[in-house]
Every structure is written in structure tokens, then in C-alpha cells.
Amino acid sequence: MNSTGNRPPSLAVSIGGLTLKNPVMPASGTFGYGEEYAPFADLNRLGAVVTKGISLLPRAGNPPPRIMETPAGMLNAVGLQNVGVRAFVAEKLPYLRQHDVPVIVNIFGEAVDEYAAVAEILSRAGGVHALEVNISCPNVKKGGIAFGARPESAAEVTAAVRGNTDLPVIVKLTPNVTDIVEIALAVESAGAHALSLINTLLGMSIDVERRVPHLQNITGGLSGPAVRPVAVRMVWQVAGRVKVPVIGVGGIVDSASALEFLIAGARAVQVGTGQFVNPRMTLDVIEGIEAYLERHGMKDVQDLIGSLQCTSAR
């Protein structure tokens, strides 16, 4: 009960058959495997937990420096360092299973059959509730162009993962494309249950005194408030064209920025870099959304989703 004696608004949403108690979750790669943030944000209060990208074999990652702060954002070139799917299942998943929160495992590969193999192992592991497929990775067999950069390869990965799992499949789109709607439609037809967007924008920054790139990897992925307008625009474009739910990601650092995504049509949101700014950011966002709904007399977050008031064409 709130101050006016009404019931608090409902925040629950459903994504690909999975019911989330609220639409807020951490973004992959910014939350480790869940343990690091637990002292700050009780995992049981989150809509879901999304883990660091997992591949078939462990990966060492890129040499340092891996990160650099840029205006209102940061570049990272972590290089998808991870423990590999077997160690994940044996060492990381048991911790997550102790909680009452859906676990979404982010996966990637360098070849289509690698995605499929990881998906299969995770589906049999128990305690995984959905897969989020990162298609921003270079396709090693096809000259290193990202799977997510072309509708055909994006659809191929999606179909391969779908074919190897009964779990809901969320496909995470890269913004480094000319037409994100085209990719979104291709992935939807290939069977994705939901889409999440955006992954990081490819960027670069230079130390002018020494005339060297700030990152050892030269280029890196840009995240944080700097990318938010791009992410909101892409979510709005995609949500207007696909039937499956869209999860909005990019630059959320308070509840107002999360609300932008929901109003643009996202059914849920992920907080990435914002957690580095404040480790309890996910909870602040949940509380802020609830307060907003109350202030606007809305009983259900569904009333907010896609409620953008605008008359001109998409």
C-alpha cells in the first residue's frame, strides 16, 4: 500500500514466456557472474540477472589497457574474456541457482556451430532461464565480419541456437550497422523470442601527447550516457516493426533514462556502465520507475511501454 492507500503499480513484464518481477536487469559484461554486485543490489530484487558473455572454451581476453573514459562514456576492449561454458556451469551457476531470479546467460562464438554447442550445454545445465545471443562477434570463418552485421548471418546464428535449445532465445543486436530494422526483422523471422539492443558502438580515442591509441586493442566499444540517444532511437525504430519484445540497453544512469526506453517501446531495460557509476543503480532505477508510475496514476508498467506521444511517421 502506498500513501494514497492504492496498491503499488505492477512492474511485472513477460519476455519470451519468462515472467520478470520488474523490467530491470544488469547488462552482460558489467555484472560479472552475479557475485560481485550482490553486496550492493540484492539479486532477488532484480527482474533478471544477465551474465558475462560465455564461449565454448575459456578466453584470456585482450592485453591492457582495456578501458578508457571518454566524454560521458567509456571505451572497452576486454576481448570477451571468460571462463568458458564448462567452468561457468560448474563454478558460477551454482551461486546463481541459490537465488530467486531468472538467469539469462549471454553467449557468443566465432562460428555458428560454436554458438549452437554453447546453447546446448547451457540448456542441459539446469538453472538457466534464457539465452542472450551476442551477435556482435566477428565471424572468423567469414573474414571476421560480425555475425550481426548482415541479416543472413544474424539469422543463421539465431536459427542454430533455436535448433539446439528449448530456452527462450534473446538476440542482442549490434548498433554498428546501416539498417538495424533489417537485421531485427531477419532475426525475428529466424525464431528469436526477443531482441535486446544495443551492444556497444565501435569507437576509438587517442593520447595526443604520445600519439598512441588509449587502448592496446586500438578500437573498443563505446558505452554509457554518450550512446543513449542512439540506443533510444534504435529501440524505437525496431519496436515499431517487430512483434517480439525488445529490451533496451545503452547509457541508463537513472530512472529517467530507463523510462525513455520503455516509452520508446522497450518491454524491459538493462543497465550496464551505469552500475560502475553507482553499484546500486539497478535498484534505484526500479524504485524510480515505480515512483513515476504512481506519480502518473498508472497501475501497470504495461501502460507505459510504447506510450510515446508523437504524430509524425516512424
Ligand X SMILES: Cc1cc2nc3c(=O)[nH]c(=O)nc-3n(C[C@H](O)[C@H](O)[C@H](O)COP(=O)(O)O)c2cc1C
Residues taking part in catalysis: 137
Which part of the chain contacts other proteins (CB under 8 A), choosing from 108-116, 139-147, 259-267, 274-282?
A: 274-282
Q: Is 214 an interacting residue with respect to ligand X (CB under 6 A)?
A: no
Q: Is 69 an interacting residue with respect to other proteins (CB under 8 A)?
A: yes
Total binding residues toward ligand X, as defined by CB under 6 A = 25
Q: Is 227 an interacting residue with respect to ligand X (CB under 6 A)?
A: yes
Binding mask 77-116 for other proteins (x = CB under 8 A): -x--x-----------------------------------
Amino acid letter, 314: R
Please say which residue, 106 or 255, places its beta carbon nearer to ligand X: 106
Backbone torsion region of residue 277, taken as left when φ is above 0, otherwise alpha when ψ lies between -120 and 50, otherwise beta: alpha
**Subset of 128-147 contacting ligand X (CB under 6 A):** 134
Which part of the chain contacts ligand X (CB under 6 A), choosing from 4-12, 232-240, 248-256, 284-292?
A: 248-256
Interacting residue with ligand X among 11, 25, 30, 34 (CB under 6 A)? 30
Which part of the chain contacts ligand X (CB under 6 A), choosing from 32-40, 161-169, 208-216, 269-277?
A: 269-277
Binding mask 16-45 for other proteins (x = CB under 8 A): -------------xxxx---xx--------
Please say which residue, 31 or 292, places its beta carbon nearer to other proteins: 31
Q: Is 277 an interacting residue with respect to other proteins (CB under 8 A)?
A: yes
Q: Is the dihedral of CA 42, 44, 47, 51 positive or negative?
A: positive
Q: Is 205 an interacting residue with respect to other proteins (CB under 8 A)?
A: no
Binding-site ranges for other proteins (CB under 8 A)? 29-32, 36-37, 52, 60-69, 71-74, 76, 78, 81, 224-225, 253, 273, 275-279
Binding-site ranges for ligand X (CB under 6 A)? 27-30, 52-53, 76, 78, 80, 106, 134, 172, 199-200, 223-224, 227, 249-252, 271-274
